[in-house]
Structure 1
Amino acid sequence: MKVQSDWVIGAVIIAFSVWLYRIADDFPQGTDAFPKLLLGALILLAGMMFVQSLKRPRQTENVSEGKTQAAFLPPAVTFLACLAFVVLVPVIGFFVSGVLFSAGVMFYLGVRRLSTYFIAIGGVMLFIYFLFIMELRVPVPHGLLF
């Protein structure tokens, strides 16, 4: 199978970003600046990718089926973990879901030291708790456990 898709990806990103930019035009005055800035940067970078893909010689690489399936697995597992997190948040709560999600992804990525789990997950959860709940008073979903 021949693969040469950078120009297609660049064009799709540009089209999607332009569509979102037009939606941002309907935002209230002042709230549209940040989304437009990010979308403008995305359009610029995708445009550079598009132009660069057209300038380089037409090199194609052969991709075997086994390599394609192996390359598909990590993003698929990560997507399913994110999907499980979103589904579990209203059921068992944000913090419990966050701990389970973080621990699961860290384990999948090969982290095996227990101290790393406690430091990373504990630090992120404490940061989220103190910043968003204590300081900014942002409500997080509570579930059966917390």
Structure 2
Amino acid sequence: MKLKADRIFAIILILVAIVFWTQTKELQYKCYIFPRLILIMLIILSAVMFVQSFFKKSMPKGKLPKDNLKYIVISIIIVFVWIALINVLGFITSGVIFLSSLTFLLDLQRLTIKKVVSTILIYILVLIAFWIAFHKFLLVPLPTGHFI
């Protein structure tokens, strides 16, 4: 049943992307580049999902284990804390804390000092790249707080 749902969802996503594509025809050249890029990626990824649904084996039905439910609840709490702190700490600082917290929560048994340091450095670089892309190039204001 899951595989059939994947196929239906992929087809719906492709149809929605096509509808949105027709909406971008009224936009000027520079205005429709980004939406069309996103729509192309959506169509490609939906097509991949559609094709994969023929080759994947369905997962056995069952209830969600209590450990997974605990991780989901903790993850939702971390997201709300991040939303609350993003204007206080700033985009990069709160983003590093948020992403690192989620990573360490989900990868608890294999936690080493090297992994902690490399994870934090990678998130700092990724968030700085996002900040440059959005704040400097696209001129989208990002939350600033007491830090960065």
Q: What TM-score bracket applies, with the shorter chain setting the length?
A: 0.5 to 0.7
Q: Distance in 1 between matches of 2:74 and 2:20?
A: 28
1:17-36 equivalences under 5 Å are: 17-36=17-36
User: Are the aligned partners of 2:100 and 2:123 in contact in 1 as well (CA < 8 Å)?
Assistant: no
Whether the 8 Å CA contact 2:78–2:98 is kept in 1: the answer is: yes
Q: Mapping of 1:1-146 within 5 angstroms?
A: 2-3=1-2, 4-47=4-47, 49-50=49-50, 62-66=60-64, 78=75, 81-110=78-107, 112-125=111-124, 128=128, 132=132, 136=136, 140-143=142-145, 145-146=146-147
Q: Aligned pairs, how many?
A: 138
| Structure 1 Cα separation of the partners of residues 51 and 93 of structure 2 | 45
Q: Runs in 1 of length 4+ with deviation above 3 angstroms?
A: 47-53, 59-62, 69-84, 135-140
Match for 1:117: what amino acid? V
Alpha-carbon deviation of 1:87? 3.6
Letter in 2 for 1:30: K
% same residue: 23
Higher helix residue share: 2
TM-score, normalising length from structure 2? 0.61
CA-to-aligned-CA distance 1:37-93 (integer Å, 9 cap, x gap): 44235335535654775xx5xx976512246x7767766755654454334211322
Aligned partner letter, 1:65:
K
Secondary structure at the counterpart of residue 27 of structure 2: coil
Q: Give unpaired runs (5+ residues) of structure 2.
A: none
What 5-or-longer segments of structure 1 have no aligned partner?
A: none
Letter in 2 for 1:107: F
16 and 70 in structure 1: CA distance in 2 versus 1, 3 angstrom threshold = farther
TM-score, normalised with respect to structure 1: 0.62
Distance of aligned partners of 1:20 and 1:62 in 2 relative to their CA distance in 1, 3 Å threshold: same
